[in-house]
Amino acid sequence: MANVAVIGAQWGDEGKGKVVDWLASRADIVVRFQGGHNAGHTLVVGGETYKLSLLPSGVVRGKLGIIGNGVVLDPEALLSEIAKVTGQGLSVSPANLRIAENVPLILPLHPALDRAREAARGGDKIGTTGRGIGPAYEDKVGRRAIRLCDLAEPETLSKKLDELLLHHNSLLKGLGAPLFEKQPLFDQLLAWAPQLLPFSEAVWERLDAAKREGKRVLFEGAQAVMLDVDHGTYPFVTSSNTVAGNAAAGAGIGPDAIGMVLGIAKAYSTRVGSGPFPTELHDAIGQGLGDRGREFGTVTGRRRRCGWFDACMVRQGVKIGGVQGLALTKLDVLDGLAELKICTGYRIGGAVMHRLPAAMAAQAAAEPIYEVMEGWAGSTAGARSYAQLPAAAVKYVRRIEELVEAPVVLLSTSPDRDDTITLRDPFAG
């Protein structure tokens, strides 16, 4: 049976929630493999709205959810999310949620450092979610992270805390921020232990068994390719690899298990936080896209920057992310615009480029080269087949497919789960 990995193909917030929810309802297991509670999506199931940032979407659909080792896990955020969805009538227990025993934890000192650093950056800030994601990944790579399994070993925990505090308090002191004491942190960790350890296991074994049993696994990516720590608009990125290749390492399974890679792209572009955005619109059209698309961050509540579809960048994301098919979302937000623009390349200095270069100043200088397309007067909202779309909308989608070199396999025409044109079942492989 084929598996599916879903990743964002732009800067996040592409409307993954709706697509992931549909796929989760058809999967046996849903795995988060990177990111943390910086992610966020809204699921509407049976009239109830669930806002998730850490729990894999499958939990809402009655499937097994797995939080893989590639995630950074904030115990407080997880426990409060569990309490919230429990209050909405869902049951979350080790029967439907498993967490990799080797997942690194986010402790209160991580958001403190994240925010102190952002404040120190002033005008050059990255615009992080302030949730401690970056500092937690730094500790993992720096080999001083406290992992879920450490909660079962108070002596290990105590030693690791000493090392962690030496590192963090030195930095916090330098930044002029309040320092952390060991005892309250130690007590907090010990208090979390009985609440979290029942979920902890070697999830790689469960995934290996699932593979042998032919179960359908959905790997649920967070953020997006252009926020990937290696391949995105560095340093204005998140601190994990968001590409599908990381689904294997971040879950503990071989790359052959990833299956079909589905990239989610909005029919226009948005970005939260700072960083280059060549097709950004500062005019009434950009404002209109933001209003009609309700472009506010699920996690941060910040207004998203909006712009034209950047086919050059999405093509890059398709290649780097290993995207085999695209789910194009929010086409209806473009309804009624007289003309549309698609970016096909950049002018940087005197040169024309068909990729976004890696260097910071070059990225910032990238001027979009546009192809202008005819808009459509009719509505695409709620369309469930190509035949129901205005001809110019079909032409727009077809042009995107050509330019990004990937087929559109799903087309979403409203927030409603059923308003989707399905051209190919991703689980069919």
Count CB-CB contacts under 10 A for residue 311: 24
List, in sequence order, every beta strand (DSSP E) within 154-289. Answer: 200-201, 217-220, 260-266, 269-271
Nearer to ligand IMP, 24 or 126 (CB): 126
Give the three-state DSSP class for 200. strand
Q: Using CB positions, name the residue nearest to ligand IMP.
A: 273
Nearer to ligand IMP, 110 or 160 (CB): 110
Smallest gap from residue 272 Cβ to ligand IMP (A): 4
Quote the DSSP letter at residue 47.
T
Smallest gap from residue 278 Cβ to ligand IMP (A): 16
Smallest gap from residue 389 Cβ to ligand IMP (A): 28
Smallest gap from residue 37 Cβ to ligand IMP (A): 9
Smallest gap from residue 413 Cβ to ligand IMP (A): 22
Plot region of 301 (φ>0 → left; ψ -120 to 50 → alpha; else → beta) = left
Please tell me whether the peptide bond between 104 and the residue prior to it is cis, using omega within 30 degrees of 0: no
Contact at 8 Å (CB) between 263 and 405? no
Nearer to ligand IMP, 18 or 216 (CB): 18
Q: Which residues pair with 411 in a beta bridge?
A: 328, 421
Could you say which of 21, 28, 37, 41 is catalytic?
41
The residue assigned the tokens 């549309």 is 340
CA–CA distance, 339 with 375 (Å, rounded to integer) = 4
Contact at 8 Å (CB) between 290 and 306? yes
Whether residue 13 lies in the annotated active site = yes
Residue type, 201: E
Give the strands of the sheet with 29-32, arranged side by side.
200-201, 97-100, 64-67, 29-32, 217-220, 4-8, 260-266, 325-329, 408-412, 420-422
Nearer to ligand IMP, 15 or 40 (CB): 40
Nearer to ligand IMP, 64 or 222 (CB): 222
Nearer to ligand IMP, 54 or 203 (CB): 54
Contact at 8 Å (CB) between 412 and 14? no
Quote the DSSP letter at residue 108.
T
Give the three-state DSSP class for 173. helix
> Interface residues with ligand IMP (CB under 6 A)?
12-13, 38-40, 126-129, 131, 133-134, 222-223, 227, 236, 238-239, 272-273
Whether residue 41 lies in the annotated active site = yes
Residue in 176, 187, 34 with CA at minimum distance from that of residue 115 = 176
Smallest gap from residue 221 Cβ to ligand IMP (A): 10
Contact at 8 Å (CB) between 169 and 144? no
Nearer to ligand IMP, 19 or 373 (CB): 19
Smallest gap from residue 294 Cβ to ligand IMP (A): 15
Catalytically active residues, by annotation: 13, 41
